[in-house]
Amino acid sequence: MLKGKHIILGITGSIAAYKAAYLLRLLIKQGAEVQVVMTPAGKEFITPVTLSSLSGKPVVSEFFTANTGEWHSHVDLGLWADAMIIAPATASTIGKMAHGIADNMLVTTYLSCKAPVFVAPAMDLDMYAHPSTRHNLDLLRSYGNHIIEPATGELASHLTGKGRMEEPENIVAVLDRFFERKQSLAGKTVLVTAGPTYEKIDPVRFIGNYSSGKMGFALAEACAEAGAEVVLVAGPVALKTGHPSIRRIDVESAAEMYRAAVEAYDHADAAIMCAAVADYAPETVSDVKLKRSGEERVLRLKPNPDIAAELGHRKRAGQYLVGFALETNDEESNARSKMAKKNLDFIVLNSLRDAGAGFRCDTNKVTVIGREGKPVEIPCKLKTEVAVDIVDLLARCMNEGR
Ligand code: CTP
C-alpha cells in the first residue's frame, strides 16, 4: 500500500533517532518516496548524511540552504505529502505541535500539512507520564493526528506507558493499514449517534447515564478516516471532533436525537447507533426549580422513541444499520433479539461483566453478531482500535452488498 506514496519523515532530538534510519529504510523498501525533515536537535543524534543517502534526497532542516540561500517551502512539502510521520517525537516537539509554536522547519511543515499525521513519541517515562505531555498528546489526537504508542492493544503496558518509540516495523504496519482502509467507505455517508441523552426534570436537573461518548466518537473518526462523510449526532459529552469530514449535531434529549437521526438517515448509506439513549423521560418538565418538601415525590416517566427501531423501520434496500447492546445477562440471546426487533444488519455486544469494557473507560471488548455466520470477538483494546475493526466489518458488508 505504500508504493509511490509521498511521505515526510520528521525526526527530532531523541536517542531513538537512530531507529528513524531503520524506519526510513523500511519505507523506501516498500516503494515510498520519503523526504526527511529534521529539527536542529535531531541532527545531534543522527547525521543528515546517513538519512539523505538512505532516502536519496537531501535532508531538509533549515528554512534556507546555507550555501545557496535556496528557500525550502514547507507549504509545498505539506501539499506534496500523502502522510507525515514524526518519529521519534520528543515532548518538546509534541508540545510545539499542540500549541502551534512554529520555530523550526519540522513544526512549520506540520502546520502546513494537509495529509494525515502520525506521531511516534519517544522520551523518558517520567516525561511521558507528565500531565503536560498527556494533555499535549490529547490535543494532537483532538486535531485528528494519529498517535502511535508502543504496545498498542496491550492494555496493561499501554496504561503504564513506556515512553519508548514504537518499533519501525509496527509504524510501517500502522501506515500500511491506514492507506488500505482509507478508501473503504469513500463516497458513502454514515450517521453515528453517540453519548448519553439528558431528560429534563426541571431547569437544573435531568435523568442521564454514564455514557462518555468515547466509543461513538471513535466510530465517527474511523468512518471519516475510511473516506466517509459522517453525520455525528452527539448527546451531551465533553469530547471534541477534529476531522473535517465529520459534521457534528449536538443534541440533549432522546426526542432531539430522534429528530436529528431520522433526518440524517434519509441521506445516509449506513447508521451506527452507539448512543445510550434514555428509554424514558419525565412526563412533565417543571418550568421552575422543584422545591424540597418533606413529602415523598413520584416522578412519572413516559417512554422515549426507539431511534434504532425507527431507522430499522425506514431502512431502504442497500442501507445498513448497526446497533449496540449493553447487556448484563443472557448477552448473546438478548443481543440477537434486539437485532431482529430493530431490523439491524449487525449488533455490537458489550457485556458489563467484562473487565475493561463499557462505560467511562478508554478500552472496550465486544462481540459483533451478524444475521449469519459466527460472532466475531474483538479482544480488549482501545476504543479507537475497536472502532476501526467495527468500521472494517461494516465496510466489508457494504462493499460486498451483504
Ligand atoms: N437505541 C435507540 N433508541 C432508544 C434506545 C436504544 O436508538 N430509545 C439503540 C441504541 O443506540 C443501541 C440499541 O438501540 O444501538 C440497543 O440499545 P439498548 O439500550 O441496549 O436497548 P433497548 O432497546 O433500550 O433495550 P433495554 O434497555 O431494555 O435492554
Query: What is the tally of structural domains in the chain?
Result: 2
Q: Are residues 151 and 270 in the same domain?
A: no
pLDDT at 276 over 50: yes
Question: Annotated binding site, which residues?
Answer: 279, 289, 324, 338, 342
> Which are the contacts of 315, defined by CB distance < 8 A and separation ≥ 6?
321, 343
Strands (E), 172-313: 189-194, 199-202, 205-207, 229-234, 246-250, 270-273, 280-282, 301-303
The span from the CA of 232 to the CA of 189, in Å, is 11
22-31, 56-65, 84-93, 102-111: range with lowest mean pLDDT? 56-65
**Residue 399 among the catalytic residues:** no
Same domain, 167 and 263: no
Q: Are residues 101 and 250 in the same domain?
A: no
> Quick one: 112 and 46 in the same domain?
yes
pLDDT of residue 379: 87
Cβ of 325 closer than 6 Å to ligand 1, yes or no, is yes
Model pLDDT for residues 43-58, shown as the tens digit of each residue? 999 999 999 999 999 9
Nearest CA to ligand 1 atom 18: 325
Q: How many whole angstroms from 264 Cα to the centroid of ligand 1?
A: 19
pLDDT at 360 exceeding the cut of 70:
no
pLDDT at 151: 57
Q: Say how far apart CA 39 and CA 103 lie, in whole Å.
A: 10
DSSP 375: P
- Of 115, 150, 181, which residue is a domain's last? 181
pLDDT at 69 over 70: no
Degrees, nearest 5: CA angle 110-59-176? 60
Mean pLDDT of 105-126: 94
111-125, 173-187, 327-341: the lowest-pLDDT one: 173-187
Q: For 82-139, give the DSSP string.
A: SEEEEEEE-HHHHHHHHHT---SHHHHHHHH--S-EEEEE---HHHHHSHHHHHHHHH
pLDDT at 157 over 60: no
HEC assignment per residue over 130-143: CHHHHHHHHHHHHC
Residue 273, ligand 1, Cβ within 6 A:
yes
Helix (H, G, I), strand (E, B) or coil at 65: coil
Residue, of 329 and 313, whose pLDDT is higher = 313
Do residue 107 and residue 212 come from a single domain? no
Q: Do 392 and 335 share a domain, yes or no? A: yes
pLDDT surpasses 80 at 351: no
Per the model's pLDDT, the better-predicted residue between 346 and 155 turns out to be 346
Q: Are 200 and 292 contained in the same domain?
A: yes
Q: Helix H segments across 267-353? A: 307-314, 331-341
pLDDT digits (tens, 9 = 90+) for 324-338: 998 888 999 999 999
* Domain match, 295 and 322 both: yes
* 308 touches ligand 1 (CB under 6 Å): yes
- Answer yes or no: do 170 and 245 share one domain: no
Q: Has residue 310 got a pLDDT over 60? A: yes
Q: How far, in Å, is the centroid of ligand 1 from the Cα of 273? A: 9
pLDDT of the residue at 162:
65
Q: Using 50, 70 and 90 to split pLDDT, how confident is the model at 144?
A: confident
CATH of the domain at 36: 3.40.50.1950
Tell me, yes or no, whether 150 and 206 share the same domain: no
pLDDT score recorded for residue 78: 84
What type of residue sits at position 312?
A: G
Q: What is the mean pLDDT of residues 274-290?
A: 97
More confident residue, 67 or 302: 302
**What are the φ and ψ backbone dihedral angles of 288, each rounded to 5 degrees?**
-120, 160
Q: Is residue 28 part of a domain?
A: yes
Tell me: pLDDT of 40 over 90.
yes
Cα–ligand 1 centroid distance for 371 (angstroms): 18
Has residue 210 got a pLDDT over 70? yes
Ligand 1 centroid vs 186 CA: distance in angstroms? 29
Tell me if 349 CB under 6 Å of ligand 1. Answer: no
Please state which of the ranges 14-23, 41-50, 57-66, 193-202 shows the lowest mean pLDDT: 57-66
Q: Is residue 168 part of a domain?
A: yes
209 and 281 belong to one structural domain:
yes
Q: Does 1 reside within a domain? A: no
* pLDDT surpassing 60 at residue 158: no
Q: What is the mean pLDDT of the chain?
A: 91
Residue-wise DSSP of 6-57: EEEEEE-SSTTHHHHHHHHHHHHHTT-EEEEEE-TTHHHHS-HHHHHHHHTS
For ligand 1, atom 20: residue with the closest CA: 325
Residue ranges making up the domain that contains 61: 6-181
d(CA 261, CA 85): 37
* Model pLDDT, residue 153: 38
Q: Residue 156: pLDDT above 70? A: no
Q: Which residues are annotated as a binding site for CTP?
A: 279, 289, 324, 338, 342
Q: Which residue has the CA at smallest separation from atom 16 of ligand 1?
A: 325
Is the distance from the beta carbon of residue 199 to the nearest atom of ligand 1 less than 6 Å?
no
- Chain-centre distance for alpha carbon 154: 17
Cβ neighbors of 250 (< 8 A, separation 6 or more) are: 234, 236
Q: Lowest mean pLDDT: which of 71-80, 257-266, 328-337?
A: 71-80
98, 81 Cβ separation under 8 angstroms: no
d(CA 274, CA 293): 38
Averaged over 355-379, what is the pLDDT? 84
Per the residue annotation, which of 145, 170, 209, 343 is the catalytic one?
209
Q: Are 310 and 285 a contacting pair, CB within 8 Å?
A: no
Distance 276 CA to ligand 1 centre (A): 7
pLDDT class for 155, splitting at 50, 70, 90?
A: very low
Q: Are residues 95 and 55 in the same domain?
A: yes
Q: What is the structure's pLDDT at 160?
A: 47
Residues 269-277 have a mean pLDDT of 98
Higher-scoring residue by pLDDT: 357, 290: 290
pLDDT at 133: 96
The pLDDT value given to residue 161: 53
